[in-house]
Homo-oligomer: A and B are copies of this chain.
Amino acid sequence: MYQTLPSLLDTNADKGDTARRFTESAASDGAFPDDEDCVAWLDEHRAANGYRVEQVPLDKLDGWYFASDTGNLAHRSGRFFTIEGLRVQLSPGRVPSWHQPIIVQREIGILGILVKEFDGVLHCLMQAKMEPGNSNLVQLSPTVQATRSNYMRVHQGNSTPYLEHFIAPRRSRVLVDTLQSEQAGWFLHKRNRNIVVETDEDVALQPGFRWLTLKQIHELLRVDDVVNMDARTVLSLMPFAPPTGTARPGAVPDDGFRDALARSLDPDATTLHSMTDVVSWLTENKATYQLTQRLVPLLDTSDWYRTDGRIAHKNDEFFSIVGVDVRAADREVSGWMQPLLQPAAPGLLTFLARRVDGVLHLLLQARPAAGALDIIEGAPTVHCTPHTYRNLSPENRPRYLDYVAAAKPHRVRYDVRLSEEGGRFLHADNRYQIIEVGDEIPLQQPSDFLWLSAHQLMTLQRFGNFLNVEARSLLACLHTLW
């Protein structure tokens, strides 16, 4: 197969204006403002399709079985994913080693957003999509969420709409295209390809899809449980230039925060550390932690048991694996059963933000995770399940957790409940926050924390998988505040 990449010598591709065009989209009402309200549209989609999700015991899941020798849970077709056991050793760490169930999904799927100019403004083709694990079932999703099994079928009659725009050889222009990880506490080495392509062609609008500007999407990102995780991770990869106009309606009152954030998008703004130091800080932390991962039979995971048709920890902590029976009228198959991972309690994901010489900086955490491909990832300042630490003394709780709990309301710039991937997780609704701090949180931090500007976070995003999916979600949310 020969390349169809655009050549800069032959085309007008990449004039360095992609970031400016995304920023313009974030200030534009869109070409279809008379359409019904988007939340109402998702509600209608939900009501019209008669979705129903019921829990069933794992041993009653059609198509799934526990392997007799390992106890691993797998699909009879060999497709989708498996639930296996993982032995983790982590040093340094409060818990030096443990066992846990882990979702193993080796294939790299596609999360793609198709964009197109209407009236000179970029619009994103977004989908009303049901996933059985979402509390409200239907959320705003990218144009395409496809596993490799899905997209290898594309040439034999495509059942995933718009997939052809994302598969080589493609006629569209790639604006963003990187591999990005997903929840490394629950997945082993899972990554998806996050891709944004722009088309100039006519695109027929299929039912359940609509074109939205980034302004419209940003407004939806400020509402609980509307924009799904797959959409958020792709959105987080879009570069933005500093805005030139006035604040958008709904923005926080202007006490200088917005200006500090706008400057934080500027590649020429003075930052606390250079990019060389940022990469060195990641390297230092990767060299500090030693993480050993070994897949073991699910039967051999100490402290975890199969009981009452689910897989759970002996103290019912952390999470369990449960089965669901899904009915949905508009899917390629009218119903299916599958396992889902159900967290025991909601998570808290908080970025602390601080102005440094008038430029907003975010406090990134270098955080190891059980299933991480490369030891650590950049994570929100606070990334934990507070319930897990309820009985521990303050010095054993995650750093900044107590600080965040006591934050004054006017410091909380963003505070929205967002769902994790509803195709794998059941009711994994987490609290996402951006909290502005002052000099009570010093610039000099412990060696696993570092202050970065928004532009530095975006620069890391261009080159690969440096931020975990929760930090990426918060970066997408941060862009709603300017």
Contacts and interface: CB of A to CB of B under 8 A. Distances in A.
A464 B462 contact: no
Q: Which residue, of A270, A287, A373, has the highest number of chain B Cβ atoms within 10 A?
A: A287
B179 A271 contact: no
Given A450-B3, A464-B463, A9 B277 contact: no
B279 A9 contact: no
Contacts of A464: 279, 463-464
A373 B175 CA distance: 26
User: Which 3 A-B residue pairings sit nearest by Cβ, starting from the closest?
Assistant: A177-B280, A14-B274, A463-B463
Interface residues of A, number: 56
Contacts of A175: 276
Contact of A273 (B5, B107, B275, B462): B5
27 contacts: A3-B281, A3-B446, A5-B277, A5-B450, A7-B272, A7-B273, A8-B271, A8-B273, A8-B274, A14-B277, A108-B287, A110-B287, A174-B277, A175-B276, A176-B276, A177-B276, A177-B279, A177-B283, A179-B283, A179-B287, A193-B287, A195-B283, A275-B462, A279-B463, A373-B373, A460-B463, A463-B464
A49 to B, nearest CB: 31
Contacts of A272: 7-9
A479 B151 CA distance: 42
A8 B462 contact: no
A448 to B, nearest CB: 9
A77 interface: no
Indicate how many identical chains form the complex.
2
Nearest to A6: B277
A275 B178 CA distance: 12
Contact of A443 (B7, B13, B110, B447): B7
A67 interface: no
A279 B178 contact: yes
A19 to B, nearest CB: 11
Contacts of A447: 1-3, 168
Q: Which residue, of A272, A356, A460, has the highest number of chain B Cβ atoms within 10 A?
A: A272
Nearest to A374: B373
Interface of A: 1-3, 5-9, 13-14, 18, 106-108, 110, 148, 168, 174-179, 193, 195, 270-277, 279-281, 283-284, 286-287, 290, 292, 356-357, 373-374, 443-447, 450, 460, 462-464
A13 B110 CA distance: 41
B2 A444 contact: yes
Q: Which residue, of A106, A174, A462, has the highest number of chain B Cβ atoms within 10 A?
A: A174
A374 B277 CA distance: 24
Given A5-B273, A277-B14, A292-B106, A284 B177 contact: yes
A382 to B, nearest CB: 19
A443 B9 CA distance: 11
A443 to B, nearest CB: 7
Contacts of A276: 14, 18, 174-177, 462
Contacts of A445: 2-3
A344 B373 CA distance: 32
Contacts of A280: 5, 174, 177-178, 195
Given A2-B446, A8-B273, 11 more contacts: A7-B273, A8-B270, A9-B270, A106-B290, A148-B287, A168-B284, A179-B287, A279-B462, A373-B373, A373-B374, A460-B463
